[in-house]
Amino acid sequence: MGHDPIVAETTRERDSLEPRFVLEDQEQRAATALASYRGANGKRPNVLLLLFDDVGWGDFGCYGGGVAVGAPTPNLDRLARRGKLLTSCYSEPSCTP
C-alpha cells in the first residue's frame, strides 16, 4: 500500500512555506512525466490552477455566465479561450448542517 498522508508527518521546506506532505512516489511520477514532456518539445508546460470559493461553473462567461448573469469575467474568459476548458467535475459541499 502507498503512503498514507493522513497519518504522515509534514515537512517544512522553508520558513516562508506551510508544512507539506512529502509523497515521494507521486512526485517522482510527476517529475518523470514533466521530463518526458520537456524532452518532446524542449519547454515546460504552462499550468495555471485557480481556486475559487462559492462560485458556480455557470458564473463565468466562458461557461455561459459572465455578462449574462451581470458579472463580466473578461480576463478569465480570455484565459479560457487560450487554454483547456474543463467541463466535468465532482464536488461535495463542505459547509453542511
CA distances from 27 to 23, 32, 52, 76, 84 (A): 6, 9, 25, 29, 23
**Which candidate, 59, 34, 62, places its Cα nearest to that of 47?**
34
For the segment 29-68, what is each residue's pLDDT rounded down to a tens digit?
Answer: 989 988 888 877 778 777 777 777 778 778 888 888 888 8
pLDDT at 12 over 80: yes
Report how far residue 59's alpha carbon sits from residue 46's, in angstroms, rounded to the nearest whole number: 24
pLDDT at site 96: 60
Separation CA 61–CA 75 (nearest Å): 10
pLDDT, average across residues 78-92? 79
Shortest CA distance to 50 belongs to which of 27, 73, 20? 73
pLDDT class of 15 with cuts at 50, 70, 90: very high
Whether the full predicted model's pTM is greater than 0.75, yes or no, is: no
